[in-house]
Structure formats: C-alpha cells, structure tokens
Amino acid sequence: MEQVTLVGLGASAATLTAEGEKALRAAARIVGARRLLDALPPDYTAQRVAAARYEDVLAAVLASPGPCAALYSGDTGFYSGAAGLLERLAQNGIPAKVVPGISSVQLLAARLGRPWQDWKLVSAHGTGCDPVAAVCGGRPVFFLTGGKGTGPADLCARLAQAGLEDLPVTVGENLGCPDEALTSGTAGELAKRAFGPLAVLLAQPAPRAAARTPGWPDGTFTRAEAIPMTKQAIRAQALAQLALRPGETAWDVGAGTGSVSLELAFANGGAPVYAVECLPEACALIEENRRRLGGWNIRVVEGKAPEALAGLPAPDAVFIGGTRGQLEPILAAAWQANPDARVCITAVTVETLAAAVAGITALGRKAQVTQIGAAHTGEGKIHLLRAENPIFLITAHG
C-alpha cells in the first residue's frame, strides 16, 4: 500500500498549512471526522470518508483506492488520535508521513500575544484531570477541555471549590474560526458562564514558593494554643521516612495545625493530600494555613478516624499524628485501602509507642522505631539548650 499521510488541519481550514493542503489535494481519499471534512473547501477532489474512531479510520485507510490522507484537528502530535493510527499502520507495515497542523495552544498564545514555552499543557478531554493539582506548580496551565464535566466552566468550578475562586483564567472558543472568542475573568466568575464545545482554558496561578527540604521552620505556620503541631525536627524525619514522591496521594490523620499536610502537599507535586481532623477549630486553622501558604491540593476532611477515612482515595503514604484511641482501626483502614501504603506514626508516650508496635504487628507488618530528642538554644547572653520532649517515630511499609 502507498504511504499514508496524517494531516493536522489546525483549528479550521484557514489554519491549514501549505504542506497539509498539498497532501490533501494529492490524496484519492481523505478520512476524518465529519466536522473536519465539512471544513474543507468544496473543490477538493478526493473521496471523503467520515470516521471518528481510529479503528474505523484504519479500515477506511486500508480500503483506500489510492493515496490516502487521514485528517485530524489541531497538531497531530498534541493530544491527537493520530498516535493510535500511526501505531497500527506500523504494525501493518504501512509507511506513514505526518504533517502537523497549528495547535490550539499556539493559537491561544498568539491571540494573547504571549510566548507559551513556560506553560504546563494538560488535557481534560478523554483523560482523568485534576485541575487543582495542575495549577499547584505555579506555572500557567493550558487545558484542552472535554465534554460533560470537563468543560471550561466545570474546571473553573472545581478550582473555585478548592479555594481558587480568584485565580485569573482565560477561555478561548472556536479559535481560528470566524466566531472565535476570548473570555477572561476569575475561576469563580467563569464557573458561572456557558461555553461551546470547542474551547480551551488557560489558568494563570501566582508563582508558588519552591518546595523546600523537609522541615520548614515552625514559624511558617499560623498556630493556635490549644491545637497541637508536629515540630520541625520531627516533621523533617517523618517526611524522610514516608519518602513521598510526585504524584502520590497522602493522608494526614489527626492533622492538627496542618504543618505535616502542608509539607506533604509541596512534596508530592500537587497530588491530593487529605488532612483528617475531628476538631472544627483545627480544621479552620488548617484551611487558614492552606490558603496562606498555597497548599491548594490539601483536602480538609472534618471527622473522626477511622470513620472519616471511608471513601477517601487510596493513600501511598499515611502520617498518623493523633488517633484518639483508634490506632489499630486506622492502620487497618489505611492498609485495606492500599496494602502497600507507607505509614509513619508519632508517639510522645511509651504507652502510645507500645500500642503502635502492637497494632502494626497484629496486622502482619514489621515496625521500625526511631526516637528523636531535639534541643534548641533560647535568646540571651548565655545560650542554654532547652530540650523538647523525646518523640518516637514508628514506621511500617507494605
């Protein structure tokens, strides 16, 4: 069979490149979505075959009576169905040539008069997309939007619900077409608007503070006298024990001030961190620290564990700072959700230490215990070390 040419139309026939037009005019058959075929000028002599799924496109290509072109919107290398056809053509030993078009990200950047080399590119079309996680890096984020539940207004609504209602956003509709439109505002404002199906979204978060090594200074966090906080030296060791990686989900059970939740939120690249806390006043404090420090990927869950853990996404790492006597059921819930979850428990008393080791052992795991005793100098002419209470860290892996 002759070489198949995969052609990116761009946004419309007006953005088709000269190379793409040449390939289409030389084809005996053009295969593609009906919307794209109808956008071509009527003087194209090739037979037009409408097909959307790549299996149907492949069948039409294989049955072509002569040179064949497969037509795609945008750029064939930018979240395009062309990848599937290329793979199948290669499996069938059919040579293929790719002629890229102009992508929607190029068009939006051009309309805004901005470069796009620093943008993060995300697709919400046909793939799982967490817009909150996407914007946590502090870079402008370009979203290819999808259908029901993943349109521009839907994504803006999810951003607003996470506390990002003032985030500047721009929606580009029908780019490259006569009825193209740009709409700018905040996520909260555009969540209430209606947009057409051919739309993209640009979110422009404020630059986020660079993730620091574990163990942020205690003064970083807003505190309340009655609400406990895991101190700097303990946090640093706990983060090291949990070894959280970008993209991993974390639970912070008994989150208190939210200091561990914030460090986890910066360590996992914007993936969800669930701060579980039963005291309403502590939950309000976590929300305050979340907003002030930009931990938008933290989801505060008010309730008592283990009941409050039911239905949460499976964790890769679990920090347990407070249990109210429910340590073993909390451990059971974590490992039921993910048998491979890494767990770190803090204990101030020997009784809690014993309960943690016994609970881990009862669930068929091996406990590793580390004891940390930190001391700090105070202010004055003579610097005396003031000791903090020794803390036990009990860790277990799946």
* Assigned domain for 209 exists: no
Q: Are residues 248 and 327 in the same domain?
A: yes
Phi, psi (rounded to 5 degrees) for 107: -65, -45
- What residue type is assigned to position 238 of the chain? A
Q: Flag whether 213 is in a domain.
A: no
Within 13 Å and on the Cβ side, how many CA atoms surround 367?
Answer: 20
Give the relative orientation of helices 232-242 and 259-267 as an angle to the nearest 10 degrees.
40
**Cα Rg, the chain, nearest whole Å:** 27
Residues 31 and 156 in one domain: no
**C-alpha distance from residue 248 to each of 9, 238, 266 (Å):** 38, 16, 11
- So what's the pLDDT on residue 242? 96
Residue 316: Cβ within 10 Å count: 21
Report yes or no: 309 and 281 within 8 Å, Cβ to Cβ: no
Contacts of 149 by beta carbon, 8 Å cutoff, 6+ apart: none
Longest dimension (CA), the chain: 93
Q: Clarify whether residues 20 and 111 are in a common domain.
A: no
* 211 is a domain residue: no
My answer on whether 330 and 359 are in the same domain is yes
Does residue 248 sit in the same domain as residue 295? yes
For residues 124 and 166, state if they share a domain: yes
pLDDT of residue 210: 57
- What pLDDT, on a 0 to 100 scale, did the predictor assign at position 214? 85
Token readout for 160 is 């607003």
CA 166 – CA 153 distance, rounded (Å): 14
Residue 212 domain-assigned (yes or no): no
User: Parallel, antiparallel, or unpaired: how do β-strands 391-396 and 342-347 relate?
Assistant: antiparallel
**188 and 140 within one domain:** yes
Q: Which of 102, 125, 148 is the last residue of a domain?
A: 102
Residue 284 and residue 187 share a domain = no
The reported pLDDT for the residue numbered 87 is 93
Residues 275, 387: one domain?
yes
Asked whether 373 and 387 are in contact (CB, 8 A), the reply is yes
| Cβ neighbourhood burial of 120 (10 Å; 0-12, 13-18, 19+) | middle
Domain boundary among 87, 102, 117: 102
Q: What is the total count of domains within the chain?
A: 3
Q: 220-258 burial string, b = 16+ CB within 10 Å, else e?
A: ebeeeeebbbbbbbbbbbbbbbbebeeebbbbbbbbbbb
Q: Rounded CA gap, 290 and 262, in Å?
A: 7
Asked, for residue 291, whether it belongs to a domain, the answer is yes
- Which residues constitute the domain of residue 311? 218-396
Give yes or no: residues 305 and 158 share one domain.
Answer: no
Q: Tell me which residue has tokens 């309000």.
A: 284
Domain contains 262: yes
Q: How far apart are CA 266 and CA 15, in angstroms?
A: 41
User: For each of the chain's 398 residues, which pLDDT tens digit applies?
Assistant: 689 999 999 888 888 999 999 999 999 999 999 999 998 989 998 999 999 888 899 999 989 989 999 999 999 999 999 999 999 999 989 999 999 999 999 999 999 999 999 999 999 987 778 999 999 888 999 999 987 889 999 999 999 999 999 999 999 999 988 899 999 999 999 999 999 999 999 999 887 665 567 899 999 999 998 999 999 999 999 999 999 999 999 999 999 999 999 999 999 988 999 999 999 999 999 999 999 998 999 999 999 999 999 999 999 999 999 889 899 999 999 999 999 999 999 999 999 999 999 999 999 999 999 999 888 887 778 888 888 889 999 999 87
Q: Which domain-ending residue is among 151, 177, 203?
A: 203
